[in-house]
Structure 1
Amino acid sequence: MTGWPLEVLPLDRIRVRMAHAVTGVLGANDPQSAFGALRAGDSGEPWYPADSPVRLVHGDIAMLIGGIRALLVQSLHPVAMQAVEEHSGYHSDPWGRLQRTAAFIAITTFGSCHQALDAIARVRRIHDHVSGVTPAGDPYRASDPHLLGWVHVAEAESFLTAHRLYGHQSLGARDADLYVADLARVGTALGVLEPPRNVDQLRRQFDSFRPELRGGGQARAATSLLLWHPPLTGAVRAGYRLLAAGAIASLPPWVRQELGLPSLPIMDRALLRPVARTLLASLDRGFAVTFSNRPAAA
Structure 2
Amino acid sequence: MTAGDPGLFGPRSVTWQLHADPMMWIAGVRALYLQALHPRAVRGVWQNSAAFRMDDRGRRDAWGRLMRTADFVGTLTYGTTDAAERAGAAVRGLHRRLTATDPATGERYRIDEPELLRWVHCAEVDSYLQVLRRSGHPLTDRQADRYLAEQRTGAHLVGLDPDTVPGDRAALAAYFARIRPELALTPEARQVDAFLRRPPVPPALVPARELLWRPVAELAYAALPGHAHRLYGRPAPPPALATRRLRTAGRLLRAVPATVRWQLPPRHVLRAVARLGPGARPGPFKLPDSAAILDGHDTQGDPRG
With normalisation by structure 1, the TM-score equals: 0.77
Residues 249 and 132 of structure 1, relative CA distance in 2, 3 Å threshold: closer
Matching of residue 186 in structure 1 with residue 176 in structure 2: no
Cα distance, 1:241 vs structure 2: 1.4
Partner residue of 2:94?
Answer: 126
Q: Deviations over 1:73-124 (max 9, x none)?
A: 0000111111111112212212232122111100000111111101000000
Partner residue of 1:70?
Answer: 31
Matching of residue 100 in structure 1 with residue 68 in structure 2: yes
Partner residue of 1:86?
Answer: 47
Partner residue of 1:48?
Answer: 9
Matching of residue 210 in structure 1 with residue 180 in structure 2: yes
Residues 284 and 71 of structure 1, relative CA distance in 2, 3 Å threshold: farther
Which amino acid is the alignment partner of residue 253 of structure 1?
A: G
Matching of residue 225 in structure 1 with residue 202 in structure 2: no
Pick the aligned partner of 1:157 from 126, 143, 149.
126
Deviation larger for 177-186 or 90-99: 90-99
Partner residue of 2:144?
Answer: 176
- The separation in 1 between residues aligned to 2:200 and 2:257, in whole angstroms, is 22
Can you give the 5+ residue segments of structure 2 that lack an aligned partner in the other structure? 265-269, 271-305
Cα distance, 1:195 vs structure 2: 0.8
Structure 1 stretches of 4+ with a deviation exceeding 2 A read 41-45, 228-237, 266-292
Matching of residue 199 in structure 1 with residue 169 in structure 2: yes
Residues 288 and 228 of structure 1, relative CA distance in 2, 3 Å threshold: closer
Residues 89 and 74 of structure 1, relative CA distance in 2, 3 Å threshold: same
- Secondary structure (helix, strand or coil) at the match of 1:59 reads coil
- Secondary structure (helix, strand or coil) at the match of 1:95 reads helix
Q: Identity over the aligned pairs, expressed in percent?
A: 33
- The separation in 2 between residues aligned to 1:252 and 1:221, in whole angstroms, is 20
Q: Deviations over 1:162-216 (max 9, x none)?
A: 111125x311111111100000111023222311111111111122211211012
Which amino acid is the alignment partner of residue 205 of structure 1?
A: Y
Residues 130 and 240 of structure 1, relative CA distance in 2, 3 Å threshold: same
Q: Which has the higher contact order (CA 8 A, sep 6+)?
A: 2
Partner residue of 1:246?
Answer: 219
- The separation in 1 between residues aligned to 2:242 and 2:63, in whole angstroms, is 29
Cα distance, 1:227 vs structure 2: 1.5
Residues 286 and 49 of structure 1, relative CA distance in 2, 3 Å threshold: closer
Partner residue of 1:111?
Answer: 79
Whether the 8 Å contact between 1:88 and 1:97 is mirrored in structure 2 is no
Whether the 8 Å contact between 2:131 and 2:246 is mirrored in structure 1 is no
- The separation in 2 between residues aligned to 1:158 and 1:77, in whole angstroms, is 15
Which amino acid is the alignment partner of residue 132 of structure 1?
A: A
Whether the 8 Å contact between 2:125 and 2:148 is mirrored in structure 1 is yes
Question: How many residues are paired up?
Answer: 251
Matching of residue 59 in structure 1 with residue 38 in structure 2: no
